[in-house]
């Protein structure tokens, strides 16, 4: 029955290819949205192979995986970070985290519903690949944000991910961020990749309604990012003037407006 | 007691008549005075009851397996794929728990009616479980099966049922598979594959149609060439 009441906008960050910067973008975007006054929850949706807590230099006592498998409330795993947003950390080294059972799916849905009135936005950092867990979280999200880099492998994987989500799950709306773009012309690179993907989509994924791909940001390749990760801090903490921060801020502005538009809050 | 006038053999039809009565069917003896016509009517009605689901009028699970087995054999013979879609009403337990079983039955009947209306005459719709339905789509290439299943699924999403003055919008999760005309498969195995796809739909948010990866979603050579077009690399390379 359609009784679902959306109070928090759920955004799933996915890419197909690994190593494109999803987790770093998730956390820095969470901080940027928090600074705009939006109550933000970052969810490590790579259930068995955590990364967000590692980047934030946090050692969780309990994880989303523990809570789901014990059937206890997700609150038990919730961490109020010092960065202005909350975190639901994942487990590490848990092969079971690659499987979605019916019970797990229902627990996640119930858990998210129970947290929804406390937040404006959930950022779901899904793992790499197109496994069941990634597709499950993508489908649980209101918006799917694809993270790509200019690498041909990344573009190919992003397209394959779009194709699967469109053909098998009926998703037609996708957001796009181009990461690690040439710093001298990051906006042009972003527009070029978005245009290229749109061309291939319009040629091979004909549908009604058509697949829409909206570019919401280009983040320049920036040595400050790996530096911040090595220090296990956010970019805004280690290098507040880093060029990449501008790209993340523009994404945050876009999503901030999307929250208002979607839920009138 | 039925007495056949031609050879005076006696048949005890009381059990058959009781079954028909319990199934709410009219007494066949009232249809005609001719004992042969009466007997034929009893046989026809019993046959009808044995292959159809009483609530929806769709084919029942037993007959469904017989039809599916026949269609799988035909697929092997004609080298044409046969599609199988399984649909299950989402959150159906909530309907029964909240509004009672009469409302639940009404919902099932509404789904059955919509499902049947969305099929071709050569397709077979069945009720194979409480709130689970299936449709056999013979002579469907994978692409045709996907199109048909997409259409069927859109008809069933949602189905609006009016209960106690409320309009309930019920969704379905669906799974689609098709036969490989080069390999034999049992009806049970094919149904199990379709069920797995349907459960994947449940797990990934419900109200969706899932079908096999591979054939449908694999990147084609043309797509690959288009994606790896060199002009992109020139555009995005460092300068």
By Cβ distance, the residue of B90, B171, B217 closest to A168 is B217
Spatial contact of A118 and A6, defined as CB atoms under 8 Å apart: no
Domains of chain B by start residue, with CATH = 7-51 (no CATH), 61-211 (3.30.70.270)
Interface of A with B in 161-180 (CB under 8 A): 163-164, 167-170
- Given a contact cutoff of 8 angstroms between Cβ atoms, the answer to whether B85 and B175 are in contact is yes
Contacts of A135 (CB under 8 A, 6+ apart): A164, A165, A168, A169, B204
Q: What is the CA radius of gyration of chain A?
A: 17
Q: Is B70 on the interface with A (CB under 8 A)?
A: no
Quick check: A256 and A11 in contact, CB under 8 A?
Answer: no
Helices (H), chain A: 22-35, 52-55, 64-70, 102-115, 132-140, 152-169, 186-204, 224-230, 235-238, 243-263
Residue from B173, B215, B227, B233 whose CB has the most chain A CBs within 10 Å, to mutate:
B227
Could you tell me which residues come within 8 angstroms of residue B219 by beta carbon, excluding any fewer than 6 positions away?
A156, A159, A160, A163, B227
Across chain A, which has 265 residues, the per-10-residue mean pLDDT values are 63 91 95 95 86 90 82 86 93 67 78 91 89 85 95 92 84 94 94 94 83 95 92 92 93 93 73
- Interface confidence: ipTM more than 0.90: no
Bridge partner list, B137: B83
Shortest Cα–Cα distance, A237 to chain B (Å) = 28
Per-residue pLDDT reduced to its tens digit, B55-67? 999 999 999 999 9
CA distance A153 to A165: 18
CA-CA distance, A67 to A74, in Å (whole number)?
6
Global model pTM greater than 0.80: no
Distance, CA of A157 to CA of B194 (rounded, Å):
27
**How close A42 comes to chain B (CA, Å)?**
20
Report pLDDT for B231.
Answer: 56
Weakly modelled stretches of chain B, pLDDT under 70: 1-9, 213-217, 230-239
Distance, CA of B2 to chain centre: 38
Task: Give the one of B169, B211, B236 whose C-beta lies nearest to A182's C-beta.
Answer: B236
CA distance B118 to chain A (A): 19
């Amino acid at each position: 029955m359609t009784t679902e009441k959306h109070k928090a906008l759920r955004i799933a960050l996915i890419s197909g290819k690994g190593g494109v910067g999803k987790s770093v973008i998730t956390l820095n975007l969470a901080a940027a949205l928090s600074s705009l006054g939006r109550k933000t929850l970052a969810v490590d949706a790579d259930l068995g192979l955590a990364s967000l807590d590692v980047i934030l230099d946090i050692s969780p006592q309990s994880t989303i995986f523990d809570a789901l498998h014990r059937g206890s409330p997700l609150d038990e795993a919730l961490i109020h970070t010092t960065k202005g947003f909350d975190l639901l950390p994942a487990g590490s080294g848990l092969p079971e985290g690659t499987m979605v059972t019916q019970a797990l799916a229902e627990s996640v849905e119930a858990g998210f519903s129970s947290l929804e009135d406390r937040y404006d936005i959930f950022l779901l950092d899904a793992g790499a690949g197109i496994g069941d867990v990634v597709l499950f979280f993508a489908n649980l999200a209101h918006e799917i944000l694809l993270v790509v880099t200019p690498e041909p492998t990344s573009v190919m994987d992003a397209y394959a991910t779009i194709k699967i989500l469109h053909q098998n799950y009926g998703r037609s709306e996708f957001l796009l961020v181009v990461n690690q773009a040439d710093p001298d012309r990051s906006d042009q690179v972003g527009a070029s990749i978005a245009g290229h993907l749109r061309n291939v989509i319009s040629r091979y994924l004909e549908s009604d309604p058509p697949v829409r791909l909206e570019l919401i940001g280009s983040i320049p390749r920036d040595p400050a990012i790996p530096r911040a990760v090595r220090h296990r801090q956010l970019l805004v903490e280690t290098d507040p003037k880093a060029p990449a921060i501008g790209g993340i801020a523009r994404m945050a502005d876009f999503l901030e407006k999307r929250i208002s538009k979607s839920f009138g809050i | 007691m039925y007495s056949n006038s031609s050879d005076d053999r006696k048949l005890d039809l009381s059990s058959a008549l009781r079954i028909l009565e319990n199934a709410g069917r009219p007494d066949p003896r009232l249809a005609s005075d001719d004992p042969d016509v009466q007997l034929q009517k009893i046989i026809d009605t019993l046959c009808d009851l044995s292959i159809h689901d009483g609530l929806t009028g769709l084919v029942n699970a037993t007959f469904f397996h017989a039809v599916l087995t026949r269609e799988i054999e035909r697929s092997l013979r004609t080298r044409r794929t046969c599609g199988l879609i399984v649909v299950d009403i989402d959150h159906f337990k909530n309907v029964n728990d909240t509004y009672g079983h009469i409302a639940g039955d009404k919902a099932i009947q509404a789904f059955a009616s919509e499902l049947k209306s969305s099929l071709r005459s050569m397709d077979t719709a069945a009720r194979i479980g409480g709130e689970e339905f299936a449709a056999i789509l013979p002579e469907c290439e994978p692409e045709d099966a996907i199109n048909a299943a997409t259409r069927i699924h859109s008809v069933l999403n949602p189905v609006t049922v009016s209960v106690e003055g409320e309009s309930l919008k019920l969704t379905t999760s669906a799974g689609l598979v098709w036969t490989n005309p080069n390999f034999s498969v049992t009806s049970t195995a094919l149904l199990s594959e379709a069920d797995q796809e349907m459960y994947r739909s449940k797990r990934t948010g419900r109200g969706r149609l899932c079908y096999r990866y591979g054939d449908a979603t694999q990147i084609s050579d043309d797509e690959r060439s288009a994606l790896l077009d060199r002009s992109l690399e020139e555009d995005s390379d460092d300068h």
